[in-house]
Structure formats: structure tokens, C-alpha cells
Amino acid sequence: MRRRLVCGNWKMNGTEEESAALAASLLPLLAPLGDRLEIALAPPFTSLRTVGEKIQGSRIQLAAQDLHPASHGAFTGEISGRMLTALHVRYVIVGHSERRRLFRETNEEIGRKAAGAAAAGLVPILCVGEDEAERLDGRTLGVIEEQLLAGIARLPSTGGDTLVVAYEPVWAIGTGRTATPDQAIEAHRAIRSCLARRAGEDAAASIRILYGGSVTPETATAMLSRPDIDGALVGGASLVAESFAAITRAAAS
Ligand code: 13P
């Protein structure tokens, strides 16, 4: 049985002080849900320590939004997996569509980031998803599969404790246009069958596949009541404590 996961991706929002305030208001809302599912918060790098301190002792996990594949070296401005594990980070988002699109990250580079995360003892949350033109062209499943295979290509093992996949259709991110549950399920099934071909049925059955893209308290129940959807990666709505808590409650029930 896969344990559901809801992760809030705060993106580039919040000073350290603002992040601390958000974490403090989330804590009492999320704490009662911690035995029913897994919850993770992905604040900006500069807030990781503070948010980590706030959630210490709770069952909420810390996540980062990106990393550099190498453990250390002359990479000005970058953050390594080793630096993240030292801050008690458990998950790290790799291949977010904003990184792919705005920072020109390639499938190959994302595969190296996932491997760098694994080498540091982190669990990558590998994001895949088609853009609108690719969907209209009927290329959705092909694009997802290509991103997925490149993303996991260098991982030493793929199983439930070592990898999370997030299906995030680019056209649904920050647009208010959530995919329908049926669209998400089609993608999630394709991802799981691709994982099964690559890593075997048992490993594939243990990997959590999250949906992300305009998840709100209003859309969460329809999406998260479906067994193929193992949780959510939440952007905008994760910045409002009551909204993120409502989404998490929907995933827990
Ligand atoms: P929104 O929930 O704001 O659409 O963002 C989704 C996302 O990119 C999560 O990683």
C-alpha cells in the first residue's frame, strides 16, 4: 500500500521570516494528519533551516526545490545534495517545468540531478509533464515517457523509498486549469507502466505518483479520491495555510 504524499512547493516566495510564519500557521493544521499520510514542505533554500526548525519533532518532512548534481566544487551559486541532507532535507524536486522552461534544463541534466540526489541520500521528486502544444499534438504520453526514462536513467535503484514521480502538465501550472481526473489518471497509468517495464512490477507498484497543476481545495477531492493518484504537488495554494491544510485533508480521507 502506497502512503500518500502531499508536498507544498513554495517556489520563490517568502523571506526567511515569512516562511517561518507560514510554517508556524501550518503546524497545528497539519499535525493531526501526520499519521494518515506524508506531508512535505519545500520552501526556498534560504528558509530551509528555519522551516526545518519549526517542523522539528512533527511528522512533516522538509523538501528542497532543486539541487546541483555534484556533491561539491566550483559551481558558483549552486547547492548540493550533501548540503541539503545536512539540513535534514528528505525530498528534492527535480525537473520542475519551470526549471526546464526558464532555465533550459535538459532531460539529461535532470537525470544527473536525480542521481546526485540519490547519491546524497535524498529522494528525488521527479517532475514530468507535457505542454499545451504537445497535448494538442497527441504527444502527451510520449513526452512524459521520454522525460521519465531520462530522469531515472542514472538512478542506482527505483522503488518506493527512492523515487517519487510528479505528473505536472505545464498548461495546468499556475493557470487555474486543473487537468481532469481522467486526464491525470491516463498519465499516471502510463508512468506506472513505463516504470514497470524499466524497474519491474513490484518496484513500480511501490512508487508514488503525485499530480500537480492548479490543485486547490475545490479540485483536490475529485482528484485525490482516485486510487491512481498518490498525492499532490501543490504550488500557489500551498502558500495559504488553510488551503494547503484543506488539500492535505482531502488527500488523507
Ligand atoms: P500551482 O499549484 O500553482 O499550479 O503550481 C503547481 C506546481 O508547479 C507545483 O510544483
> Domain ranges in the chain?
5-252
pLDDT at 47: 98
- Residue 158 is predicted with a pLDDT of 85
Ligand 1, residue 11: give the atom nearest the CA.
10
Cα atoms in the 13 Å half-sphere on the side-chain side of 76? 0
**pLDDT value, residue 216:** 97
Tell which atom from ligand 1 comes closest to the C-alpha of 96: 10
Active-site residue identified among 38, 68, 96, 188? 96
98-119 pLDDT per residue, tens? 999 999 999 999 999 999 999 9
Q: Provide the 10 A C-beta neighbour count for residue 203.
A: 17
Lining ligand 1 with CB less than 6 A are: 9, 96, 168, 173-174, 212-215, 233-237
Residues of the chain with pLDDT under 50: none
Verify whether residue 168 is a known catalytic residue: yes
CA dist 242 and 253 (Å) reads: 16
Q: How many CA atoms lie within 13 A of 7 on its CB side?
A: 34
Q: Which of 85, 27, 22 is nearest to 56 (CA)?
A: 27
- The best mutation among 9, 12, 177 to test binding of ligand 1, ranked by most ligand atoms within 8 Å of the C-beta, falls on 9
Does 88 participate in catalysis according to the annotation? no
- Nearest-angstrom CA–CA distance, 226 and 49: 35
The whole-chain average pLDDT of the chain stands at 97
What confidence score (pLDDT) does residue 159 get? 84
Give 215 Cα–ligand 1 centroid separation in angstroms.
Answer: 7
| Distance from residue 204's CA to the centre of ligand 1 (Å) | 25
The best mutation among 93, 234, 247 to test binding of ligand 1, ranked by most ligand atoms within 8 Å of the C-beta, falls on: 234
Output the CA 173–ligand 1 centroid distance in Å. Answer: 5
Please provide the CATH number assigned to the domain covering 5-252: 3.20.20.70
Look at residue 183 and give its three-state secondary structure.
helix
What one-letter code names the amino acid at 251? A
pLDDT on residue 223: 96
> What was the pLDDT predicted at 157?
86
The whole-number pLDDT of residue 238 equals 98
DSSP structural state of residue 68? B
Number of C-beta neighbours around residue 86 at 10 A: 11
Q: How far is CA 233 from the centre of its chain?
A: 5
